[in-house]
């Protein structure tokens, strides 16, 4: 795909519920230096704490792209957003969207972008073709976050670990596999939108050969345990050829979300299954930590759980947003 041009102006439309602007808040949290400001339409009240700017003002401060930071109902482009998107194109911004509807499918957006020479990025959709995976080992180190289910912290864990590696002075790159991750990093592959034959190949492309001591921190997707998404997870696992894995889990979740009959097995069984599969493309694959989402637990209960988990599995257990991550980095470096 064409590289996304940073920094962003965050478009939050006429939204007034923060929960509908998760994308804007996620990018604001993880890439504050990539956010010039936010743009509310009349009636909108969402506040990310950034300066409120029009497209023209944002361009004057260096913004390169308008990021659609709100999720419209049904993933479609709201009619009253179309003039706003065109105004941003006219002002000189590319558009970055994670909506189901492709930007270019709206004629006036497509025509305005062409006339102004601006790029339209639909990060939810496949933006290029990939080869079938080669399985050939490549230089550099890779850590993949894997999970017991969807939506329990694989992206945040990979982002937090990227910071932790960099804080130790190590060369480390976050590799995004979903739309919010792509928006945060400005690059990546929406891996679940890739045709099944090419998922592992896309994962190989995403974390290419690198310096021997460089670490890619790869955002996991779905779960090997998920009856719907395991194919995505396995292709990503095989193509990533991880040296290190971190298992992400929400301790309050006993079953796959929305799939009653599908209990989450004990964590040691889950890790055993991942190792069996991962070692097909990297015989040296190991777990280096367990990330627990303890956001809904009292601090003392969270600490106790992390201590028990660390002891039971002889691996550093941590909360990516609460804990020191140095033990995980050290564990990975010791491999």
Residues that bind a copy of itself (CB under 8 A): 126, 132-137, 191-197, 199-201, 225, 227-232, 234-235, 238-239, 256, 259, 261-262, 273, 276-277, 280-281
CB of 171 to a copy of itself, least distance (A): 26
Task: State the minimum distance, in angstroms, from the CB of residue 279 to a copy of itself.
Answer: 11
Distance CA 86, CA 81 (A): 9
Which SS3 state, helix, strand or coil, does residue 181 take?
A: helix
CB of residue 264 vs a copy of itself: minimum separation in angstroms?
Answer: 11
DSSP 114-162: HHHT--EEETTS--S--PPP-----SSEEEEEEESSSSSSHHHHHHHHH
Q: How far apart are CA 80 and CA 206, in angstroms?
A: 36
User: Do the beta carbons of residue 23 and residue 67 sit within 8 Å?
Assistant: yes
Residue 235 CB, nearest approach to a copy of itself (Å): 3
Of the two residues 150 and 305, which places its CB atom closer to a copy of itself in the complex?
A: 150
How far is the C-alpha of 312 from the C-alpha of 279, rounded, in Å?
23
80 versus 255: smaller Cβ distance to a copy of itself: 255
- Tell me whether residue 260 or residue 298 sits nearer to a copy of itself (CB atom): 260
- In the complex with a copy of itself, which residue's Cβ is closer, 133 or 291? 133
- The arrangement of strands across the sheet holding 8-13 comes to 35-40, 8-13, 65-68, 94-97, 120-122
Residue 311 CB: number of other CB atoms within 10 A? 10
Whether residue 216 contacts residue 143, with contact meaning beta carbons closer than 8 Å, is answered with: yes
Least spacing, CB of residue 157 vs a copy of itself, in Å: 21
Between 279 and 296, CB nearer to a copy of itself? 279
Mapped onto helix, strand or coil, the DSSP state of residue 252 is: coil
> In angstroms, what is the minimal distance from the CB of 246 to a copy of itself?
21
Q: Which is nearer to a copy of itself, 269 or 311 (CB)?
A: 269
By C-alpha distance, which of 51, 62, 110, 60 is closest to 85?
Answer: 110
């Amino acid at each position: 795909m064409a590289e996304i041009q940073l920094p962003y102006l965050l478009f939050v439309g006429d939204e007034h519920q923060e929960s509908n602007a998760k994308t804007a808040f996620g990018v604001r949290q993880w890439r504050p230096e990539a956010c010039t400001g936010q743009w509310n339409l009349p009636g909108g009240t969402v506040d990310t704490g950034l300066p409120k700017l029009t497209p023209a003002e944002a361009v004057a401060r260096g913004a390169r792209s308008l990021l659609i930071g709100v999720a419209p109902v049904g993933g479609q482009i709201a009619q009253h957003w179309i003039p706003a998107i065109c105004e941003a194109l006219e002002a000189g911004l590319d558009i970055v969207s994670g909506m189901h509807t492709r930007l270019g499918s709206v004629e006036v957006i497509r025509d305005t972008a062409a006339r102004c020479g601006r790029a339209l990025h639909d990060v939810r959709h496949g933006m290029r073709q990939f080869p079938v995976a080669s399985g050939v080992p490549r230089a550099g180190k890779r850590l993949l976050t894997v999970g017991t289910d969807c939506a329990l912290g694989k992206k945040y864990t990979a982002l937090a670990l990227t910071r932790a590696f960099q804080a130790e002075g190590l060369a480390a790159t976050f590799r995004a596999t979903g739309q919010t991750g792509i928006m945060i990093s400005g690059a990546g592959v929406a891996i679940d939108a890739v045709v099944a034959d090419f998922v592992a190949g896309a994962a190989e492309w995403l974390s290419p050969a690198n310096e021997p001591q460089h670490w890619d921190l790869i955002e996991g997707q779905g779960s090997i345990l998920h009856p719907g998404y395991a194919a995505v997870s396995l292709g990503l696992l095989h193509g990533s050829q991880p040296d290190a894995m971190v298992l992400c889990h929400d301790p309050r979740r006993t079953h796959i979300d929305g799939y009653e009959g599908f209990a989450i097995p004990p964590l040691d069984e889950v890790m055993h299954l991942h190792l069996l599969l991962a070692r097909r493309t990297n015989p040296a694959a190991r777990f280096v930590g367990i990330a627990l989402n303890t956001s809904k637990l009292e601090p003392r209960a969270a600490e106790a759980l992390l201590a028990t988990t660390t002891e039971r599995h002889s691996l550093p257990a941590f909360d990516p947003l609460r804990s020191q991550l140095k033990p995980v980095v050290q564990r990975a470096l010791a491999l």
